[in-house]
């Protein structure tokens, strides 16, 4: 039984609220993390700066699988220098996406602090990366894939893909 | 038919000409380039995509702007770049093109950017290399110059995203231009409903109307209500024989001035591939005016070349 994504979003927002200060900014990782960051911004009162990252140019499997065919421009419309950046992603798994996001983020400037907020942590890390805010922890078997879905009304849900 | 630009999986492995690229490959290149525009606006203008790769710029013919933008593009992708002005090196000692290429492959070159005065030079190299090596045509004689064509299309789409609603006029020396034909082809492929060509009969290729364009010989008629004015360079150095009475005469009839530009839509953009002949095909007031996007074209040329290189390297 998968958790309700909208409830997890509320949980996540409350955890982030306890961690933010005047210099905090949200940066969502394309595409699920970017959707979440947008909603988190509304829930947190709307005046926290918001950016998005598409980490395609920083992936560590480029030489094996090539460039993602649908890249969206990264957009960080504020100065990263000395900010507290809250990286937002939908599902945390191996940690490789977050590694790529950190590398890209530092090409924009030097943040004072970076924390990680994820809707779902499914464990099985391959890198030393841990989140500071988590909607829920779930256990999945290898090959299973968890995807965040946004319907036409903007409502979130989680979908489980079984191994092919 | 076997398309030399595609690998066995149907993915782009060389960029030799715009002809033969599907609408989806064209869009993939343009969309990817859109993301690279943002990279150039950051503190660190580099991404690690081509780290550890070696890009060889093989220039058998001089072209400072094209060479520089390819070099910057490769460097912003973190590749190692070697630029060879081959005209001044081994070729003058009698080495063949393929020997030059083989020597560079022995030095572990991964990608070649080729500029040559002979049509087909890049195709020739592409047919010769192993499948993990990629070739980009940076201009071959009068045949093709696909990254220039792509950056022009990118610039149009960037300023005028509603491509299904556009009137584009291509003005000038279509006969000697290696980009005009492929650009017209790309614009039509991407859904631009009306492309016009404006030129004297002597500077139009035969059967130009077969490209699906409307042909005008009069600037005032042709520029009426267009959204994009794409000026072509008067190719003095490629012209032999008297196709034109004089540069002054040409400017009078086909040079773009503020008065003529006023006939286009008020928000029309003006493009030119450079280098410009001021006072021949374009008036300085227009070239430096607020409808001109000639310098942004150069900036976007880097993003397009980064997109092409990273797509090829990934396939």
Same structural domain, B91 and B75 = yes
Q: Are residues B57 and B177 in the same domain?
A: no
Q: Which domains, ranges and CATH numbers included, belong to chain A?
A: 5-161 (3.40.50.2020)
pLDDT of B89: 60
Q: How far apart are CA B63 and CA A22, in angstroms?
A: 51
Strands annotated E in B199-235: 214-216, 228-231
pLDDT of residue B245: 74
Contact present, B186 and B26 (Cβ < 8 Å): yes
The reported pLDDT for the residue numbered A70 is: 85
Q: Do both B275 and B227 map to the same domain?
A: yes
- Grade residue A44 by pLDDT with cuts at 50, 70 and 90: very high
Is there a domain that residue B45 lies in? Answer: yes
The pLDDT of residue B20 is 87
Q: For residue B247, what pLDDT is reported?
A: 82
Domain that holds residue B39: 23-145+298-314
Check residue B92 and give its pLDDT: 65
What are the average pLDDT values for consecutive 10-residue runs of chain B, which has 315 residues? 85 94 94 94 93 95 92 97 80 80 94 94 95 95 91 96 96 90 90 96 90 94 97 74 76 95 97 92 96 97 97 94
Record: contact B35-A57, CB cut-off 8 A: yes
The arithmetic mean of pLDDT across residues A54-64, rounded, is 92
Q: Domain for residue B281, yes or no?
A: yes
Distance CA B155, CA B161 (A): 10
At A104-129, the pLDDT tens digits run: 999 999 999 999 999 999 999 999 99
| Residues B189 and B240 occupy one common structural domain | yes
Tokens 């945390």 -> residue = A92
Interface of B with A in 3-62 (CB under 8 A): 11, 28, 31-32, 34-35, 37-39, 42-44, 46-49
Per the CB < 8 A criterion, the answer to whether B231 and B282 are in contact is yes
pLDDT computed for residue A147 by the predictor: 94
Output the pLDDT for position A127: 97
CB count, 10 Å around CB of A124? 13
Q: Which residues neighbour B231 within 8 Å (Cβ) at sequence distance 6 or greater? A: B171, B172, B256, B270, B271, B272, B281, B282
Q: What is the pLDDT of residue B39?
A: 93
Q: Is residue B176 part of a domain?
A: yes
Is the four-CA dihedral B301, B302, B305, B310 of positive or negative sign?
A: negative
In a domain, B5, yes or no: no
Helix (H, G, I), strand (E, B) or coil at B199: coil
Region for A21 from its dihedrals, namely left if φ exceeds 0, alpha if ψ lies in -120 to 50, beta otherwise: beta
B219, B170: one domain: yes
Please indicate, yes or no, whether residues B158 and B289 belong to a single structural domain of this protein: yes
Q: Are residues B139 and B213 in the same domain?
A: no
B310 and A67 in contact by Cβ < 8 A? yes
| Residue B125: CATH number of its domain | 3.40.50.1370
Q: What is the average pLDDT value for chain A, to the nearest integer?
A: 95
The mean per-residue pLDDT over the stretch A132-150 comes to: 94
- The four Cα atoms A128, A126, A62, A156 give a dihedral, to 10 degrees, of -90
Q: What angle do CA A19, A17, A3 make, to 5 degrees?
A: 110
Shortest Cα–Cα distance, A39 to chain B (Å): 24
* Domain total of chain B: 2
């Amino acid at each position: 039984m998968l958790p309700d994504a909208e409830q997890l979003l509320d949980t996540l927002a409350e955890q982030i609220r306890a961690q933010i200060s005047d210099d905090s900014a949200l940066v969502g990782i394309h595409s699920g993390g970017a959707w979440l960051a947008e909603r988190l911004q509304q829930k947190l009162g709307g005046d926290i700066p918001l950016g998005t990252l598409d980490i395609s140019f920083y992936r560590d499997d480029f030489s094996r699988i090539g460039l993602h065919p649908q890249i969206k421009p990264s957009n960080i419309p504020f100065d990263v220098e000395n900010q507290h950046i809250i990286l937002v992603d939908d599902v945390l798994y191996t940690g490789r996406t977050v590694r790529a996001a950190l590398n890209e983020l530092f090409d924009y400037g030097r943040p004072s602090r970076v924390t990680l907020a994820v809707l779902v942590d499914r464990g099985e890390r391959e890198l030393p990366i841990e989140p500071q805010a988590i909607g829920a922890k779930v256990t999945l078997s290898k090959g299973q894939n968890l995807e965040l879905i946004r319907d036409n009304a903007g409502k979130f849900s989680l979908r489980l893909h079984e191994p092919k | 038919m076997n398309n030399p630009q595609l690998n066995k999986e149907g993915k782009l492995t060389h960029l030799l000409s715009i002809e033969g690229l599907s609408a989806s490959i064209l869009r993939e290149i343009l969309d990817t380039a859109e993301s690279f525009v943002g990279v150039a606006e950051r503190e660190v203008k580099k991404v690690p995509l081509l780290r550890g790769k070696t890009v060889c710029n093989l220039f058998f013919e001089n072209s400072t702007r094209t060479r520089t933008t390819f070099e910057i593009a490769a460097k912003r992708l973190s590749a190692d770049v070697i630029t060879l002005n081959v005209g001044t090196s081994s070729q003058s000692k009698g080495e063949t093109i393929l020997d030059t290429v083989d020597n560079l492959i022995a030095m572990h070159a991964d990608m070649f950017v080729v500029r040559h005065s002979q049509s087909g030079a890049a195709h020739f190299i592409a047919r010769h290399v192993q499948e993990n090596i990629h070739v980009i045509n940076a201009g071959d004689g009068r045949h093709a110059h696909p990254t220039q064509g792509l950056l022009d299309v990118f610039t149009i789409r960037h300023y005028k995203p509603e491509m299904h609603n556009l009137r584009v006029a291509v003005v000038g020396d279509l006969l000697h231009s290696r980009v005009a034909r492929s650009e017209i082809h790309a614009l039509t492929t991407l859904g631009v409903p009306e492309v016009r060509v404006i030129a004297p009969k002597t500077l139009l290729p035969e059967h130009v109307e077969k490209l699906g364009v409307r042909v005008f010989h009069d600037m005032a008629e042709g520029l009426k209500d267009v959204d994009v004015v794409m000026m072509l360079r008067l190719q003095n150095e490629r012209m032999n024989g008297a196709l034109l009475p004089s540069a002054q005469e040409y400017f009078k009839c086909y040079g773009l001035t503020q008065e003529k530009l006023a006939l286009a839509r008020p928000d029309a953009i003006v493009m030119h591939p450079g280098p410009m002949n001021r006072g021949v095909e374009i008036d300085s007031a227009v070239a430096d005016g607020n409808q001109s996007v000639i310098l942004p074209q150069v900036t976007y040329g880097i993003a397009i070349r980064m997109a092409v290189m990273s797509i090829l390297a990934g396939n």
